[in-house]
Chain A
Amino acid sequence: MDKVAYIIVEPVPIVRWALSRIVEEQPNSTVDKEFDSMHRLVDHLQKHSTDVTIVGQSILLGLSAEHLKLIKSKSKLIVALAENEAQTPNPLFFETIHQHDSLQNIQKAIRKATCEMAKHKDNKPNGSALSDREIDILKDIALGLSAKEIAAKNFISPHTVITHRKNITKKLGIKTTSGLTIYAVLNKHIRIEEVE
């Protein structure tokens, strides 16, 4: 299984370094990127996504709703590094750690986040190699939409839909629409009630 990827955004170098080190020391966890400011993180998240983002204390204080929304959409979990325990925990944060927490508590929080992510990764049954876009197209195919309808719905050309379908068939080894439907149901992309 791939390691769970972390992004750390924290302006104070020594705090960033410490967080990075703690993450790297936990099993199945790796730091993908480190940023010292919110706007650098925003630049990155516009093009990339990640598993877990750890948001540092001062960043947290000036975090706009818009930025929070972006982080939430591009990372599956958020761990907040809060100033003190008095700060109200935000339900959008998976875990909130504090500067004065013991090392063990911080390590525990990271491990918990990694475990949660690993669960998500395992839940993608059979390690499907389809891209998110292909899964969207697969769902539409399984629901019985025509190439033309799928194209209109996803704002792409029918030609692109056909290319996606070819790639899906190649990856899965399933050629027929009914076969793709079974795959989509067995892999929980759609519910059986939607096709019965």
Chain B
Amino acid sequence: MHIAKDTKMGDVVHHNHSVLTVMLRFNIKLGFGDKTVDEVCSEYNINTSFFLEIINAFLDPNYFPSKHLRTFSVNLIIDYLLKTHYFYLTHKIPAIECMIEQLIKENQGESDLRLIRKFFKEYKDEFINHLKREDEAVFPYALRVETAAINGLNDTTLVKQMTKYSMNDYLNEHDNIEEKLFDLKNILIKYIPPISNQALCIHIIEELFSLEKDLHDHSRIEEKVLGPKVMEMEKQLLAHT
């Protein structure tokens, strides 16, 4: 089922409650009564068609690459990507971190479990660096390209950068941050000693799966939507110089 603008927001959640975390990124609050997607979006000043594309792409991995999503501005796309980064840093990562702390606290006798905390810390550092690089280098560059595409190219340093280190290079170095996540899941599923609080372990595993899925969706937007869009602009800009 694809969500349309006259679908009731409540039905969207009933269809698949994992969209709640996407709504959180758009700052949509619960309690939407019988309002439709369109009604809720206009209430929060959200571009309805953009919201629908993001939600549908989140629900259906085959929804990409959607030509429609590329019609949105780089600014709008980056705004969503930044909100997603914020969501990872303030919600997802701390939640997992907190549960791992509890796991260690409850199993003082199993001192080897400390390594899981260390491992997750390493993952977190790697992850933060990855997000920081996008926030500080990739996104500002993409925005500059868009500004030039709208207002004309009067920025010589940008021309230099486009020829030296373009969006394509950024995409090529888009490093894989999923490996450690994959390992952590397997360590918990296959190799952890039999601790008594299984519910806690299951909860951690569920969060890891959910983060993995979310990240996958996130990179798809970066690589299949933002990347090609900026590359197209670069091509047009360079053709005119």
Q: A: which residues have CB within 8 A of B?
A: 126, 172-176, 178-179, 181-183, 185-187, 192, 195-196
Interface of A is mostly: helix
Chain A residue at smallest Cβ distance from B186: A173
* Residues of the B chain whose Cβ atoms lie less than 8 Å from the Cβ of A172: 186, 190-191
A-B contact count (CB 8 A): 53
State whether the Cβ of B119 lies closer than 8 Å to any Cβ in chain A: yes
* Residues of the B chain whose Cβ atoms lie less than 8 Å from the Cβ of A178: 118-119, 122, 180, 183
State whether the Cβ of B23 lies closer than 8 Å to any Cβ in chain A: no
Q: Would A176 and B183 count as touching, CB distance under 8 A?
A: yes
* A196→B180 CA distance, assembly (Å): 19
Q: Would A179 and B180 count as touching, CB distance under 8 A?
A: yes
State whether the Cβ of B184 lies closer than 8 Å to any Cβ in chain A: yes
Most chain A CB inside 10 Å of its own CB: which residue of B116, B179, B183: B183
Q: Would A179 and B184 count as touching, CB distance under 8 A?
A: yes
* A126→B119 CA distance, assembly (Å): 21
Nearest Cβ on chain A to B212's Cβ, whole angstroms = 14
Q: Would B191 and A183 count as touching, CB distance under 8 A?
A: yes
* A31→B119 CA distance, assembly (Å): 45
Q: Would B112 and A185 count as touching, CB distance under 8 A?
A: yes
Number of interface residues of B (CB under 8 A): 19
Nearest Cβ on chain A to B102's Cβ, whole angstroms = 18
Q: CB within 8 A of A192: which of B115, B179, B191?
A: B115
State whether the Cβ of B114 lies closer than 8 Å to any Cβ in chain A: yes
A-B contact pairs, 9 of them (CB 8 A): A173-B186, A173-B190, A174-B187, A176-B179, A186-B112, A186-B187, A186-B193, A192-B114, A196-B114
Contact with A along B102-131 (1 / 0, CB 8 A): 000000000110111011001000000000
* Residues of the B chain whose Cβ atoms lie less than 8 Å from the Cβ of A196: 114
Contact with A along B163-184 (1 / 0, CB 8 A): 0000000000000000110111
Q: Would A192 and B111 count as touching, CB distance under 8 A?
A: yes
